[in-house]
Amino acid sequence: MVDCPEPLRKMMYEASQTSGYRLDLHDINHVIITHLHGDHCNGLEGFGYFKKYIQKIKPVIYTIREVADNLWEHKLKGAMGQFVDDTFQVRHPLKLEDYFDIRVLEEGKATALHNVQITIRRTKHYLPCFGFKIAYKGKSIGYSADTSFDREHIEFLSDADLLLHETNYGGHTPYEDLVALPRSITRKMKLVHISDDFSIDQSKISVARQGDLYTI
């Protein structure tokens, strides 16, 4: 799973209904967290509880060092940092490692992630963040993650068979910059992270839709 927003199980249920392909937390044990903005990681609390107390397993989180160093103290500890018994008495403190197995990704080298290969590149965003390419059986997917318009980042992603690129306001990538790219790139691009007022019907670049399945 790439990033972990809320309401996670509702989103997965709705996508399952649309696609006809069952998505469930029971089946997800490997998660990439690109950065610590809430729309990308607020679901980790519920995900961690589900895995620890329902399934009793420890999922793997793949991320960069800056995210790993801040995830517990500045995101999860306040809600997940203690264990209480049935009488709600605090028994002992908990740590990030009690919930997740953290694997730190390094820029510039391919890393085995479960059964695929991932290569990351840091982006230009408000918080430390990274995009990536994933390769599997001779095919690849590129994901921009959150980023200001960055030609070098697009060049890094451009040899992927499918390219998911965000577009939004502020520290994100303007649609106008993406649509000006060569057709050899935009024809295999799907837009994600669009604003609520984005005109999907008028877009010259295909927009990824929740619940759709894409084959490469």
Look over the chain and give the mean of its residue pLDDT values, rounded to a whole number: 96
Instruction: Give the range of the structural domain holding residue 16, as residue numbers without chain letter.
Output: 1-104
Q: How many domains does the chain have?
A: 2
Among 104, 138, 172, give the residue marking a domain's end.
104
The residue-averaged pLDDT of 35-41 equals 98
Residues 197 and 174 in one domain: yes
CB 140 within 8 A of CB 131: no
Q: Return the sign of the alpha-carbon dihedral for residues 115, 122, 194, 205.
A: negative
Among 68, 89, 104, give the residue marking a domain's end.
104
Q: How many CB atoms lie within 10 A of CB 20?
A: 8
Residues 98 and 198 in one domain: no
Q: How confident is the model at residue 88 (pLDDT cuts 50, 70, 90)?
A: confident
pLDDT tens sequence across 139-183: 999 999 999 999 999 999 999 999 999 999 999 999 999 999 999
The whole-angstrom separation of Cα 208 and Cα 94 is: 38
Among 88, 104, 120, give the residue marking a domain's end.
104
Residues 57 and 112 in one domain: no
End-to-end CA distance of the chain: 18
Please determine, for residue 45, whether its predicted confidence score (pLDDT) is greater than 90.
yes
Residues 77 and 154 in one domain: no
Please determine, for residue 189, whether its predicted confidence score (pLDDT) is greater than 90.
yes
Residues 3 and 96 in one domain: yes
The whole-angstrom separation of Cα 36 and Cα 192 is: 18
The residue-averaged pLDDT of 27-32 equals 96
Q: How confident is the model at residue 18 (pLDDT cuts 50, 70, 90)?
A: very high
Please determine, for residue 27, whether its predicted confidence score (pLDDT) is greater than 90.
yes
Residues 98 and 123 in one domain: no
Residues 47 and 127 in one domain: no
The residue-averaged pLDDT of 176-194 equals 98
105's CB contacts (< 8 A; 6+ apart) are 62, 63, 64, 111, 118, 120, 130, 132
List C-alpha distances in Å: 9 to 13, 16, 31, 90, 140: 6, 10, 15, 29, 27
CB 50 within 8 A of CB 21: no
The whole-angstrom separation of Cα 204 and Cα 201 is: 9
Residues 166 and 131 in one domain: yes
Q: How many helices (DSSP H) and strands (DSSP E) are in the chain?
A: 9, 11
Q: For 133, left (φ over 0), alpha (ψ -120 to 50), or beta?
A: beta
SS3 102: strand
Q: How confident is the model at residue 108 (pLDDT cuts 50, 70, 90)?
A: confident
CB 12 within 8 A of CB 23: yes
Query: What is this structure's pTM?
Result: 0.95
Residues 34 and 100 in one domain: yes
Residues 37 and 75 in one domain: yes
Q: What is the CATH number of the domain that holds 133?
A: 3.60.15.10
Question: What pLDDT score was predicted for residue 190?
Answer: 98
Residues 66 and 92 in one domain: yes
> Percentage of residues in the chain with pLDDT exceeding 70?
100
Question: What pLDDT score was predicted for residue 90?
Answer: 84
List C-alpha distances in Å: 188 to 19, 41, 211, 214: 21, 27, 19, 11
Residues 111 and 214 in one domain: yes
The residue-averaged pLDDT of 87-114 equals 92
Question: What pLDDT score was predicted for residue 109?
Answer: 87
